[in-house]
Every structure is written in C-alpha cells, then in structure tokens.
Structure 1
Amino acid sequence: MAKRFGGRFSPQPQPDENGARRPARPAPGEVRHPLESRTRWVTIMAIPFLISAFWQDPNGLALHLIAFGSLASGMWMTREGLQAEAAYDARRVARRPAIPRKLFGGILTGLGLAIGAYVPGAEAGAGVIGVAGAVLHWLAFGTDPMRDKGMEGVDAFQQDRAQRILAEGEAHLKAMQDAILRTGDRRLEARVGMFAATARELFGHIEDDPDHIAPLRRYLGVYLQGARDATVKFSDLYAQTRDPRARQDYETLLDDLETEFAARSARLLEGGRSDLDIEISVLRERLAREGVRPADPAPTDPAPADPAALERPMTLDDLLIPRQGEKQRR
C-alpha cells in the first residue's frame, strides 16, 4: 500500500511533543468542501435547458436560456458559499461570510427550475417546482455560517487590519511557490512549501490574537517580500546555470527565515501562557481579599492497613471498644 511521505522536510505541519498536530493556517484554496463537486453535477444536468432552447419559439428560447443561466449562476454562488464555509470551518477565529452565497444560490436554483417548468396556464405548478427545488437545495448544501466564531474579546478593527496584512503575506508566499516551479526541482519546491507552512503557522497565531500584529508587521511584509524577490531571482538563475553555490545560499536563506518565523510563533505562545498565568494570579488575589478560600486539596489515600490485621476475624469487642473510647473523650 502506498504511504504518504512525511518527515522533517515535509511541508505539512509536524506533530508536537504530545503527538498532536500543531495548528496551521490553511492556504487560500487549499481546503475544499466535501460537497463542492455536487454543484458541477447540477450544472451538467441543467444543460438540456440550454440545448433544447434552440428548438423553441422566441419566448421558449428566452425562457430556457434564462432557466439555464439561473441554474448555472445558482450553482456558482453555491460553490463560492461552500468554499467560504470550508475556510470558515478550518480556522479557529473567523467572521461569518459577508454575503450568504448559499442562500442566494438556492434562490437562483429555485427560480431557474420554476422558469424552466413554466407552461402558460400552469403557473402554480411551476411555482411549486421552484419552491421544491429551493428546499432540496437547502437540504443538499445546508445554510451559510450566520455568526462569528472565536471573536469574543477580539478587536474588530485590529482583526480587519490583520486580515489585510495576512492577505499580503499570502500573496508573497503564493508568488514564491509559483516562482520556484520554474526550477523544475521537486526538493526545492518541497523546501519552499515547508517554509510556507511555517509562515502560515505564524499567520494562524496572529489571527487568534491580532493585537500582536504591530511588532510582527515587518516579518509579514518586508521579510516575505524580500524572500519573494530572492526566490524569483534564484529561480531565473538556477534554471539556466544549475549553480550549486547559489542553491546552497538560497537554502541557507530559507533556513534562517524559517528559524526566525518559528521563533516568533514560539514567543507568541509563551506570551499567551504568561498572560494567562498573570490573569489567574490576579483573580486568585482578588478572591483572597474577598474572603473566598481556595479549594481544599484532594484527600490523599490512607496508608495501607496491616495485612495481618486484615486476616484476623473481627469480633464484637472490636466494634464496641472504639465507640467506648469516643464516649470517654466526649
């Protein structure tokens, strides 16, 4: 059985010391919705409206073309909505889509079916078919995300600013991955992919806490832009000369950049842990000032009894003597 390659130089995020995979920000277009292929099949099944339109009278021609266009537009809107939902589900902090694309896709789908089924004198039947098509669209593709996720306590202005800066960083990474393809070297492509995964891990931490965007802006802008320019120049040179020294210098540059980006991600995690410790200590001090005692520690297990005493049968005196001692103490 074929086995997917993975290791130190694999572009996928590596597991941490506990065996769990580290969270990484997915690249745009990398995450796909499992229902996305259904839209293609619905569009294909609407082709008879397009073909039969040329054997109709002018009114029928217009109606069939509008029906096909409405169905195709509805499936396009639905596919865009599924892609937005997949990106929403893949991130821990995300805003709901600004436009409910799947909702509009369902409306266009029902409208296209109603127009395609329209027959003079049977308008009610066409309306029923349109409503049934919209309901089936909702059952097949679901609804759009209607609320923000993980946005509690996050500054909306900082979040929008971070999204714009991260979009520029993603564009630089995409340009690097496109430029390195000109070398035709799979190892270099994987090496750039590994650096991109490390950078996207930092992107994910910034999305979770956009307040740290200011000190990291030069990493997302200047450094990534410089890496993109260096990748373009290296790809043009290496595709012609295959200079091993240029390759070594370029890989060293990627190693330095990846080390720096990974260090920044680790510092963000350590800073978040320090902030949590401070919040907990402040809260405990406030509770102590208000007279709230901390919870008692869990009782420890009693010492094991003597095995010889356990083997000895218990008599009535053994039960009465301790109680008499308790009465004397009282």
Structure 2
Amino acid sequence: MAQRFGGKYSPDGADKGAPVPDRGAFRGARRTRAGGRVNLLFFAPLPLAARAFGAGPVELALNLAALGTLLLAAWLTREGILAQEAYEARKIARRPAIPRKIFASGLTGLGLGLAGYASGGGVMEPLIYATLGAVLHSFAFGLDPLKDKGMEGVDSFQTDRVARVVDQAEDYLRGMTEALKRAGDRQAETRLERFQITVRDMLRTVEDDPRDLTAARKYLGVYLMGARDATVKFADLHARAPNPAARDKYLALLGDLEQNFTAKTRALMQDSSTDLDIEIDVLRDRLEREGVHLETKDLA
C-alpha cells in the first residue's frame, strides 16, 4: 500500500523528533484584570501632591487627604478584582466578606470631592465631582459578588466544610509559592506549578461532589501541609547554600505527590461514576415496578 510522504516542511507534516512543550503549568491560566487600568489609578492622583505644596495650609491638608483617599481607592479596587477572580475560579465560593470595589467607588468619589473643594470651588462642584467619580468607577470596574455561588439546593453544612478545606488548601499552595521564590530556582518553581495544578484538580472534584471531602481530607490537609513545610525548609536551605542532593530529593517528592494526588482524583471521579450508575439502576427498577417500561436498557 502506498504511503503518503510527509516531513517537517510538508503542509500537514510535523517534526516528530521535536520535543513537545510542557504546557501543564499554564493550563487554565487566565490573564488577570488587576492591571492596566487599575495601575493607572495609582498614577492619576499624583499631581495632587505637587499642587498640595504650592498652596496654603488648608489646601495642603485637603489635597493630601484627597491623594491618600484616591490611592486607598486604587488599592481596594485591585484587591477587589483579585478577590472576584478567585471567586469566579471556584465552583463553590462565598461572596467576599468586604465589598472592596464598592468601598473603592465611594472613596473615589470622596477623593475627587475633596480635590474639587481644595481648588476653591463651592459645594455644588465638589458634589458633582464626587457623584460622577463614584458612578463612573462602578461602571468601569463593576460591583463585588454579592451572593454565594454553587450553594443552591446543597447542604449548607457540607458546603461550609468544603469551602473551609478549599481555603486552607489554597493557603498552603500560596505558602509554597512564596517560600520557593526565595530559592530563586526557576525549574523548581515550574515543577511546583505542575503539582499545584494537580491539587486544584482535586479541589474542583471535591467542589463538584462534597461527599468526596471525607476521602480527600487527608490529601488536602495533612499531605499538603507536609508539602508546604518541606518547601519552606528546602527554600531556606537552597537560599543559604545550593544543595543539589536536597534539590533532587525535593523534586522527587513533588513528583511522588503529583502521582498520588492524580491517582486519588481519578479514584474520586470513578466513585462518582459508580454512584451515578447505582442511582440509574435504582430509578430503572422503580419505574419498572410501577409499570413503566424503558426502551433504552442502558441509560448510563
């Protein structure tokens, strides 16, 4: 049989010898919205500092107060966007405890009002500045999530447990990331990112079915805390004096943990599939007892 020729430079060809890039560290990654426009909010009020020191004491105090208020509003805006991104990334999440972006809108209006009053205007002009600033900030950056997500029709006790475990696991992962930055080892950081993706796969599985929490609690608690502690110790040791043997042991530990977390996640998903099969069989038997005959024998 004839075989179609194909090579590296063929239209449909590919270089089979070329290494396949590892994209695991970027799977599910999204560009953060806490940049660009948000960064401009930190620079926009800086001219108030120059204007403050070119006027009298009253104008000085008002302009500095406006500057501080607007910078605080910019910081709250950035933190609010980061909190919303974390909220949107989860299937089960509580609304942010502090509505940062709403407070930022109010502070933006207050800061613009103070700046307008410091320029020598009456009461009406600063009020217009304050109202427009608060409204435009709300339109530009939106409001904070005002309700919990993924908790409708689900046992609140179970969802509370899942939310607490997920928050704790995310704290462990952040601690590992911050600790490993001290080591300055980019390869180890990339390896850690791959492990964190595996952990978050388990977190999403538990969020989909809170009944899996009991089986996964040891992994998301004891094992993850141990991985965090090992990362901190390795980072401290590597920052003082690079130790190739310790580095190899740490990377091997991450590999073993990744394999175990992956296997456990697959087992949890298999258990969920088994539960679905049982529910389908029970429903089919009940319908047949009531005289309803199904045409399809396998609903799974």
**TM superposition score normalised by structure 1:** 0.71
Q: CA deviation at 1:211?
A: 3.0
After TM superposition, list the pairs within 5 Å mapping 1:284-299 onto structure 2. Answer: 284-292=284-292, 294=294
Q: Alignment partner for residue 6 of structure 1, among 13, 21, 24?
A: 21
Matches within 5 A, 1:25-44: 33-34=32-33, 36-44=35-43
Residues 25 and 190, structure 2, Cα contact 8 Å, conserved in 1: yes
In structure 1, C-alpha distance between the alignment counterparts of 2:180 and 2:71, rounded to whole Å: 36
In structure 2, C-alpha distance between the alignment counterparts of 1:61 and 1:173, rounded to whole Å: 45
Q: State yes or no: 1:169 paired with 2:184.
A: no
In 1, Cα distance between equivalents of 2:184 and 2:49: 43
Provide closer, same or farther for how the CA distance between residues 296 and 76 of structure 1 changes in structure 2, counting only shifts above 3 A: same
What is the CA deviation profile of residues 129-174 of structure 1, one whole-angstrom value per residue up to 9, with x for unaligned ones?
2111111112211222223322223333333333333344334444
Match status 1:151 vs 2:166: no
Write the distance in 2 (CA, Å) between the matches of 1:105 and 1:237. 41
Relative distance call for 1:258 and 1:294 in structure 2 (3 A) is same
Quote the Cα distance in structure 2 between the aligned partners of 1:201 and 1:39.
30
Alignment RMSD (CA, Å): 3.2
Secondary structure, counterpart of 1:117 in structure 2: helix
Helix, strand or coil for the counterpart of 2:94? coil
Measure how far apart 1:94 and its partner are: 2.1
Compared with structure 1, are the counterparts of its residues 115 and 208 closer, same or farther at alpha carbon in structure 2 (3 Å cutoff)?
same
Match of 1:277 in 2: 277
Cα displacement (A) at 1:60: 1.5
Identity %: 45
8 Å Cα contact 2:73-2:104 kept in structure 1: yes
Q: How does 1:206-245 map to 2 (within 5 A)?
A: 206-232=206-232, 236=237, 239-243=241-245
Q: Who is 1:132 aligned against?
A: 132
- With over 3 angstroms needed to count, the CA separation of the structure-2 counterparts of 1:5 and 1:49, relative to structure 1, is farther
Residue in structure 2 matched with residue 67 of structure 1 by the alignment = 66
> For the structure 1 residues 293 and 156, does the alpha-carbon distance in structure 2 shift closer, same or farther, using more than 3 Å as the test?
same
Shift of the alpha carbon at 1:178? 4.8
TM-score of the two chains, using structure 2 as the length reference: 0.77
In 2, Cα distance between equivalents of 1:254 and 1:57: 62
Pair member with larger Rg: 1
* Superimposed CA distance per residue, residues 245-278 of structure 1 (whole angstroms, 9 cap, x where no aligned partner): x555544433332221111111111122222233
CA displacement at 1:71 relative to structure 2: 1.3
Counterpart AA for 1:41? L
Name the amino acid aligned to 1:11. A
Change (3 A) 1:44 1:217: same
Structure-2 separation of matches of 1:182 and 1:73: 29
3-state SS, counterpart of residue 74 of structure 2: helix
Report the AA paired with residue 6 of structure 1: P
C-alpha distance in 2 between matches for 1:284 and 1:212: 25
Partner of residue 5, structure 2: none
Note if contact 2:162-2:210 (Cα within 8 Å) is conserved in structure 1.
yes
**Deviation string, structure 1 residues 32-53 (Cα, Å, up to 9, x no partner):** 5325431221221111222211
**Which ranges in structure 1 are unaligned for 5 or more consecutive residues?**
14-23, 298-330
Structure 2 unmatched runs, 5+: 1-18
TM-fit CA distance, 1:74: 1.4
Residue equivalent to 2:16: none
